[in-house]
A and B are shown apart, each in its own frame.
Chain A
Amino acid sequence: MARRQIATHEFGTAFGIFAASFVGLVVIVALLGQLGLPNRAGGVLLVAVTLIAFAGIGLLVRTMRRSDFQYGGRNVPALHNGMATAAAFLGAGGFLGLTGAFFAAGPGALAFILGAIGGFVLLTVAVAPYVRNSGAATLPDLYVARFGNGPIRLLAPLIVLAITLGLLVVNVGVASTIAAGVFGIPRETAVVAVVAIILLSTLFGGMRSMTMSGVAQYIVLLIAFLTPLVAVATREFGMPLPQAALGAALQRLADLPGDAAARLAASAMPGHLFPAEGLGGLNFTLVVLTFAAGVAALPHLVMRSIPVADMDGARRSGAWGFVFAMLVVASAPVYAAFASLEILDGIAVVSPDALPGWVYSLGAGGQARACSVFAVSRDAVAAACGAGGLIDAASLSFSGDAVVLAFPAIAGLRPVLSALIAVGAIAATLAAATALLFAAASAFGHDLYARLFEPHAPAGRRLIAIRLMLIATAAFAGWAATRALDDVYPFAAVALSLSAAGLFPSLILGIWWRRCTSLGALSGMVSGMGIALFYFLIVEYAGEAPWTFFGLSDAGVPGFAAGAFGLPVGLLVAIVVSLATPPEPERQAALDRIRRPASGAGEDD
């Protein structure tokens, strides 16, 4: 207990200083801007100093101890672990994509909020405490502790890789795109820098340094995400609490003449990160359930329960993680509503010459259209709209994924806030990428290599294996991120479905149902993952029309929600096969040890 109190004090002081320093940096950049520093130089200064700080944290927190590298020292305060958990959860999808989903798809995107709530609830009450108590270093470790050294020890890490690699590449790619824009450097160079930072955050300090950098990244992303919203809520609605202004903003949108808000949403280009179009009726419920199960079993989130002191710490960490994640997630609809309002209020019926500059900035990046062409220049728009052609805001088309990054410009806020939102987005993507990299490399180095080929290897050799895999996985992610992200987005979008279908059934039944047998868990894993992957591939790549949910839903289930089929099939198969096979007293005894409070299950060092 004394060790934990000291750690809490140190964490609080260190990150208090970090947060104050970051706010001070933002203020200094804003003041320099007032004194004539060019906006671009201010943005470079803000982002560069913040990235150097992230890299510095990774370099400062080094360890050769396995208890620190894989288990984070087991003394991280729940509050700070919750921050790191929220940062790992949010990533590009939470910071940019969710707002885009609300902007383009409206109420259907609520499925992701309800799903995220359910996911954190399940993680906090049903998964994290038992993962922590099992002494596992990874999610596949938990399966081995519960079900023994059967084929599941090979299959589980493969599913972990299928889930994490697509998300990792997308987060590295998005971070690189934003950094390249801020620094004015080639995207390939930005990819190298991003890969270097996520490697520094894990290579020397493992879980310990990843936790520290995750907390710092959460502080940055939260300040960056909320500051522009607070500014607009105060200016437009006279209240500094953006969430309290949501109702008024929606009402103002509804009162606009000629269904302008509906037309703006209808013309929006769907975001890649959270494709939420057409989520109504039963499909809405299916996405909520799939998303909740997927979040609860996401390997890099489950691993975040490892560095806390005990089961109680894992529960408190989950609760804090929920609060910190919701501060951003619950602000996404506010962002979307404010952005729509600012666009529709700010742009009257105008000629292409009178369109604001940010429209053309987005158009140059393929994220804004006018008169059915990308708004790359005034000439291009004038040519498309015809001589003297007037356009109104509702006939413009914006990409949902661009809304958050463009929000300060859309709302006419100070340029330093554009740089702030960029550094926040980079922090969010780096946090997720770092956690995903560690989960993927642990699957290679710890679960596959060490367990299969060197089960009795000393701790030092295991750490070398994981470190080599960190380098190899980061190199792969960097290489893939330099290619077109359009090919990778579907695999990131389906990751939660694969988690829900492939990992959740055997995870939840393994912890909560003593009768679940090794063969039942394995069968549930194979069938759930198989069905989800099959449905995703035939809908996304084979041109198959989406199926209705056993004839019950009006519309077909989208490919990214393939877990809607995989999850129930995985659960059903796991239950039926478990009941058809004899009980396993030895495995049930292992479960009793996993459940028992303060059972003393721990790592070898």
Chain B
Amino acid sequence: MADPRQAAWWRRTAALAAAVVVVWALIGVVLQVFDLGPEGVDPLGFPLAWFLAAILAPVVMAIVLFLYVPWQRVIDRSVDGTED
């Protein structure tokens, strides 16, 4: 990728993609902390891990993805790549 603007675009694109994947990985780690096994920890009096994984994790990732898309669009415009 000889064009320096293209190279810069790719670095920012890759960093943003990595950040989104890291958020997903962090959600997985958080849920592991609450122990998803049948004998799992139940810190608040109801099955928190179930609730987090089944409901909150998709909601959080949906928000992240819908922030990611316009952010990436801004990065794309930095190389005048996308048509409007």
Contacts and interface: CB of A to CB of B under 8 A. Distances in A.
B47 A254 contact: yes
B69 A106 contact: no
Nearest to A125: B17
Given A121-B20, A122-B21, A312-B73, A114 B51 contact: no
B62 interface: yes
Contacts of A108: 36-38
B55 A596 contact: no
A603 B40 CA distance: 52
A106 B39 CA distance: 11
Nearest to B68: A125
A163 interface: no
A596 B76 CA distance: 9
Which of A125, A312, A315 counts the most B-chain CB atoms under 10 A from its CB? A125
A392 B1 CA distance: 69
Nearest to A309: B83
Contacts of A310: 82-83
Nearest to B10: A595
B37 A280 contact: yes
Contacts of B51: 246-247, 250
Given A110-B31, A117-B24, A247 B61 contact: no
Contacts of B8: none
Interface string A307-328: 0001110011011001100100
Contacts of A246: 50-51, 54-55
B81 interface: yes
Contacts of B31: 110, 114
Contacts of B49: 107, 110
A124 interface: yes
A353 interface: no
Contacts of A247: 46-47, 50-51
Contacts of B9: 597
A440 interface: no
A597 B55 contact: no
B69 A512 contact: no
Contact of A319 (B17, B28, B66): B66
Interface in A315-368: 315-316, 318-319, 322-323, 326, 329-330, 332-334
Contacts of B37: 107-108, 280-281, 284
A599 to B, nearest CB: 8
B65 interface: yes
B53 A113 contact: yes
A110 B53 CA distance: 7
Contact of B46 (A251, A285, A326): A251
B76 A319 contact: no
A277 to B, nearest CB: 11
A1 B10 CA distance: 25
Contacts of A329: 58
Contacts, number: 133
Contacts of A332: 54
A108 B37 CA distance: 7
A107 B36 CA distance: 6
A332 B55 CA distance: 11
Contacts of B84: 1
Nearest to A330: B58
Contacts of B55: 243, 246, 330
A285 B20 CA distance: 19
Interface string B5-43: 010011000101100110010011001100011101000
A366 to B, nearest CB: 27
A331 to B, nearest CB: 9
A454 interface: no
Given A243-B55, A323-B62, A333-B54, A250 B46 contact: yes
A598 B79 CA distance: 10
A330 B54 contact: yes
A124 B68 CA distance: 10
A316 B28 CA distance: 24
A288 interface: yes
A270 interface: no
A241 to B, nearest CB: 10
B65 A124 contact: yes
Contacts of A559: none
A192 B42 CA distance: 50
A107 B38 contact: yes
Contacts of B57: 113-114, 117
22 contacts: A107-B38, A107-B50, A110-B53, A114-B53, A120-B65, A121-B21, A121-B61, A121-B65, A243-B54, A247-B46, A247-B51, A251-B46, A251-B47, A254-B46, A315-B72, A319-B65, A330-B54, A330-B55, A332-B54, A592-B6, A597-B81, A598-B82
Given A292-B24, A312-B72, A332-B54, 5 more contacts: A250-B50, A315-B68, A322-B65, A595-B1, A597-B81
Interface of B: 1, 6, 9-10, 14, 16-17, 20-21, 24, 27-28, 31-32, 36-38, 40, 45-47, 49-51, 53-55, 57-58, 61-62, 65-66, 68-69, 72-73, 76, 79, 81-84
Interface of A: 1, 106-108, 110, 113-114, 117-118, 120-122, 124-126, 243, 246-247, 250-251, 254, 262, 280-281, 284-285, 288, 292, 310-312, 315-316, 318-319, 322-323, 326, 329-330, 332-334, 512, 514, 592, 595-598
